Structure 1
Amino acid sequence: MLSTRHHDRTRTPVLPTALDSREAARRLASVREATLAGDEPPDAPRAVIGESWRRMLGSGLDPERDRRERPLSLAELAERRHRSQLAQLLPVLHAHLLPVAEAAQQILVVTDPEGRVLWRQGAATVRRMADRHGFEPGAAWAEDVVGTNGIGTALVTRQPVLVHSAEHYVRTHHRWTCAGAPLHDPRDGRLLGVVDLSGPAHSFHPTTLPLVSAVARLAESEQRTRHLATLDRLRASATPLLARLGGRALAVDRDGWTAAALGTAPPERVALPRSPQAGPVWLPRYGSCVLEPLPGGWLVRIGDDGPPDPEPSRVVLDLSGRDRWTVTVSGPAGSWSHELSPRHAELLFILATHPDGRTAAQLSLDLFGDDRRTTTVRAELSRLRRTFGCVLAHRPYRFADGIQVELRRPAHPAALLPHSLAPAVRAARGPAPRT
């Protein structure tokens, strides 16, 4: 039976870097066994591992076996690879990590935001070992499926994570070590997936996690450079066209990032519909517009200055997903959906649960546990208001009067915005199970 006694958190945690692999594995196993039995462990688990174990205990995952799911079919795997932005990052990841993986008898793994293995390369002997654990292309490697691990735990914490030997929650993974780092879209912070080096526990090296983390940041940097170059090309081709137009217009890339503007202040990004098509479209900030295709993007012709479009009357904030969240705005003028960044998902959740509104200081406490970070809060709300126009009001910040707001949460409260460390979100998930 699990004890509800708090463990002494002042004791030094077991650090794999401080011990040889076999000694670390032995001590980690004793820590795990005592913790799961509700006894006082001989050493404290590392904070990131202890928190993951508590999540696993709360989810009811069997520590002796995982909830292995059916891998994706070849067609499904090919489709996810085609849709993933990570395909553009593979040359960087391979160039810097694959030689290390092969030399150290490890494998290089890249997953999507759901923890599905999209690509796997490395030493053939280790790939065969991984196959026996179901660690294969198309497999699900999220925490709620296989327990604490370098991929799933990195997806939850949004931080680089090393999981060594018996730090894995499920016993059958104790012969493995893995070091995973999340990969984010540098434009808006959206989680793209995880890059991971995994292999037999005896192949552990203390420099593996710093290396994986550094290469992940390098890949994100190259992604940003590629994005800016794309905008430069679009700007060069769109500027002559804009010069011949009258009225107001924008040239944006396929994701809505602004390259050039005519007759209006250029926003950082235009929130396009999820699947934009040429023709009339309603955008919350501008009202009635017309989209025309450009090489690499869209020309947005903003409507004239006639009577304004009717204001939106309903907002659906869908936070039920594990890693993708959307807001849908609808009213007499039409409807529109937009995918949210992690920070904007947090802010809109807080506003949806406080219909009377929040001041900048209150939102600072909600997000950071510190009421002094109001400058950051105001900057983020300014971006949100530029995107959503009349949907949001201020003084205090809130959804505008007369708008019906529907908040869709996950089936399990603990799954709400799992990446978030915001105190308001953590409180909404409910108390964490105690060991």
Structure 2
Amino acid sequence: MRSFEAAFDGGDSSPEYLSLLESIHADFTAGRRPVARPRRVIEDSWQRSLRSGLHPDIDELPSPGSSPTGDTDHGPTAEAATLMSLLPLLQRQLDTLLADDHTLLVLADASARVVWRGGSRSMRRLADSLHFAPGSDWSEKTVGTNGIGTTLTSSTPVHVHGPEHFCLNQHPWSCAGAPVTDPRSRRVIGVIDLSYRTADAHSSAIVVATSLARQAELELREIHRQSLADLAATAAARSVTSGAWVAVDRWGWVAAAKGFTLPHRITLPEKINGPLVVDRVGAVEPVPVTGGWLLVPCTGSSAGRSEVEVTLRGSRCEVLVGVPDGTWSHTLTGRRAAVISALAGRPDGLSARELALEVYGDEGSRIAVRTVVHRIRQEISGLVDTRPYRLADTVTVRR
């Protein structure tokens, strides 16, 4: 369940409250101590806007199709296509709202670029005055605090009301945005935003936006479930071998498997051009099928033992996995990278207690460190051995 905070209480915001917000904004942007503290999500965004060099009274916003650097748009992204596929669902939910003269529904991709908007002619005309139109960049670094860019930056639903916008020319607007996560990639692919004139705004806008995002995610989950079922049927029909095989989609979700017990998802390289190494399976030959891949264990020279090369780069760990006919890479960050770095410094291995002390600074975190190691072993086979925890003999470490 996502947490969110309405910008104000009640069915409408009073002129007195808007006046207070204006005073807070004026004091903050002038470097004075504000008469009251802005909401935390707004204050954090204002600080980011100041650090990025934005000025609150900018006159010109980027025109549709351009980026902050002046580059032109290079066409719709895969994220935009996925968002657009959800449009019929969203329009059914908002038919009544969009028919009035008060609501603007906007879809933006993960880069904060507007991909679609819907609403009355008068609302679209008002939005045009801000270049709030398909193709426009509404990231925080470009236009400051807003329902799209701030939602993407904070990865949580955000309600921005009137003078809570960093730029003055957006103060007549009230916007509520909620992020949409694709369950297939587990990445945020965009934002559903509801925008109003401040006089027409209501506190439930953030509730509606969050509900729409949730429904969109459930729709994507159902589409994914059906696609995996189709892939399983296709793979079973295409498999002419009596041996083992695994059917996976492009994100690594396992649709079906014969001869292997696997987790729901395995790690695959972004581009598959030949034989590769898969955790718990080994070296495989990928056969393209509709909706994904049929992974068949390699025979002959391609089935040789995989080699793993680890490059430590500060807080990141680059892992290169190779078989005789090809290689693929994977990046570990956070605790997973810290575990690999700790093991690289102790080739003889570490106990769970010792590894927890290295990674967390607390030997009592043994359960947490075991969980991290388990996830690493699920992601990349041939990297970490156990009892004690250590890097496998085939791993080469570079610093």
Secondary structure at the residue paired with 2:50? helix
Matched, 1:254 2:250: yes
TM-score, length-scaled by structure 2? 0.80
Residue equivalent to 1:385: 377
2:275 to 275, 278, 281: 281
CA displacement 1:210-240 (0-9 Å, x = unmatched): 0110111111011111111111122233235
Q: Is contact 1:351–1:399 with CA below 8 Å preserved after alignment? A: no
- Shift of the 312–345 alpha-carbon distance from structure 1 to 2, 3 Å rule, reads same
Amino acid at match of 2:270: R
**2:117 is aligned with what amino acid?**
R
8 Å contact kept, 2:164–2:171 = yes
Displacement, 1:395?
A: 7.7
Q: Which residue of 2 aligns with 1:329?
A: 320
- TM-superposed CA distance for 1:378, in Å, is 4.8
Number of aligned residue pairs = 378
Q: For residue 287 of structure 2, what is the aligned residue in structure 1?
A: 292
Per-residue CA deviation, residues 257-292 of structure 1 (Å, 9 max, x unaligned), is 111111111332233332335xx3223534432111
- Paired residue for 1:39? 32
CA contact (8 A) 1:81 1:118 kept: no
Going from structure 1 to structure 2, the CA distance change for 1:100 and 1:386 (only over 3 Å counts) comes to: same
Change (3 A) 1:125 1:83: closer
Match of 1:269 in 2: 265
Uncovered stretches (5+) of structure 1, i.e. residues with no partner? 1-12, 321-325, 407-435
Rg: which structure is higher?
Answer: 2
Question: Bigger CA drift: 83-92 or 259-268?
Answer: 83-92
TM-score by length of 1: 0.74
The equivalent of 1:160 in structure 2 is 157
Q: Indicate whether 1:181 and 2:172 are aligned.
A: no
Per-residue CA deviations over 1:81-126 (Å, capped at 9, x if unaligned) read 6863223322222221353244252211111111011111112111
User: Given the superposition, is the C-alpha separation of residues 346 and 122 from structure 1 closer, same or farther in structure 2, using an over 3 Å criterion?
Assistant: farther
Do the aligned partners of residues 108 and 14 (structure 1) sit closer, same or farther apart at CA in structure 2, a change above 3 Å counting? closer
Secondary structure in 1 aligned to 2:112? coil
Q: Which residue of 2 aligns with 1:196?
A: 193
Cα distance in 1, alignment partners of residues 123 and 189 from structure 2: 26
What is residue 210 of structure 1 aligned with on the other side? 207
Gaps of 5+ in 2: 67-71
The answer as to whether partners of 1:363 and 1:377 remain within 8 angstroms in 2 is: no
RMSD (Å) for aligned C-alpha atoms: 3.7
Change beyond 3 A, Cα 1:273–1:14:
closer
Q: Equivalent pairs: percent with the same residue? A: 34
